[in-house]
Amino acid sequence: MIRVLVPYHITGFWYPVYRSDPYRTGSLGAGLVLGTYLEAYPCERGVGDPVVNRALALLGVKQGVCFREPRPVGVGYGASAARSLAASLLVGASRGLSFCRAAQEAHRAEVELGTGLGDVIAESVGIGLVYRVVPGAPCIGLADYVVPKGRLVVVTAPMGRMATPAMLREYASRIARLGREAYRGFMRNPSLEGFLEHARRFSRGVGFLTQELEERIQGLLRRYLAQGSIAGLYVKKRLLVVVVDPSDAEEVAEILRRGLGSDAFIDPISSRGPAIEWSCGDGRCCRSWRAAGS
C-alpha cells in the first residue's frame, strides 16, 4: 500500500504572472505551510475532481485516487493544489516518474483550470513560511522558505467559500496592484513579522478583511492582541488566519467558534514537506521518502 502526504498552504499575498507556457505561469507571493496533511491513496473509483483528472491525464495515467482531508476544499487552504500534487506524486511514484515531472503536471492542471497559481510549488517545498522567487511549476519556478522563530501555531476559521476562478475575476486588479506592493515590501527583509504585516494590509486592501470584520475580530480577540500572544492575522478568501502562541490557541479557537459561528482549527507550522510512504501488510511503514526541501 502506498500513500502520499501533502501539507496545506495559505497564501497571505500574491500577484499573478501569466505567460504562454503554463509551466512558467504562476505567481509571486508568500504563505504559511501548515503541519497538517492531506493524504492520497489508490482506490477504485476516485473522487471525480476535474483538476486531479487533468493532472493524471497529463501524466498519461488512468487511476482512481481517493483522499483523507482534514481541512475543507474551496475555502483557502490550497486544498485543490494539495489534491493535485498528492495524486500526481502517488501515480508518479507507482510508475517511476520523477518528482519534478509529477509536480509540474499538478501545477499545469491548476493553471489550466484556473484553480491556482502558486500553491503547488509552495506545497512542494512544504516548510514554514514559503515565498516564491521565480514564478512557475516546481523545478522550473523557484521558492524559498523561512523557518519562523519561536513556538507559534496557526488558528484558522473558515467563514464561507469562495471559488478561486471567481476570486481571480472579481479582485483581479486589486490583487495585481496590492500583491506587487506587498511582495516588494516583504522581499526587502523576508520574515514572519514582515509577512504578517503585509498579509494583513493586503487582506484589507483587496477586500477580504473588511472594516466591519476586522473590528469584530479585534473585539473578540482584544485580550490576546493586548497581551501580545497573537503575532498577526489576515484573511485569504473567506478564511481567517491567526498566528498565536500555543498556550492561548485553544481559547482563541473557541472564541472564534462562538463569535463567528464557524469551525476553527489549530495547526502547527510545517517543519517537513510532502512524503511518500509504503506500508507493510501489518500497517507498519516499511519505507518513506520526503521531498528535498524536507
- Has residue 191 got a pLDDT over 90? yes
Give yes or no: residues 133 and 87 share one domain: yes
209 and 120 fall within a common domain? no
pLDDT, one tens digit per residue, over 221-254 is 999 999 999 999 999 999 999 999 999 999 999 9
Q: How confident is the model at residue 290 (pLDDT cuts 50, 70, 90)?
A: low
Note whether 197 and 239 are same-domain residues.
yes
- Flag whether pLDDT at 79 surpasses 90: yes
Same domain (yes/no): 184, 139: no
Specify the number of domains making up the chain. Answer: 2
pLDDT at 280: 65
- What is the rounded distance in angstroms from the CA atom of residue 12 to the CA atom of residue 182? 9
CATH number at 218 reads: 3.30.70.890
> CA 74 to CA 124: how far, in whole Å?
19
Q: What is the mean pLDDT of residues 6-12?
A: 99
119 in the same domain as 8 = yes
Predicted local distance difference test score (pLDDT) of residue 168? 76
Residue 289 has pLDDT above 90, yes or no: no
Instruction: Please state the rounded mean pLDDT for residues 201-206.
Output: 98
Are 120 and 31 within one domain?
yes
What average pLDDT is seen over the chain? 94
Does residue 11 share a domain with residue 131? yes
Same domain for 278 and 133 = yes
Cell 523561512 locates to 146
Domain co-membership, 140 together with 190: no
Q: Which pLDDT belongs to residue 162?
A: 83
Mean pLDDT of 52-66: 95
For residue 178, the enclosing domain spans 153-268
Residue 286: pLDDT over 70: no
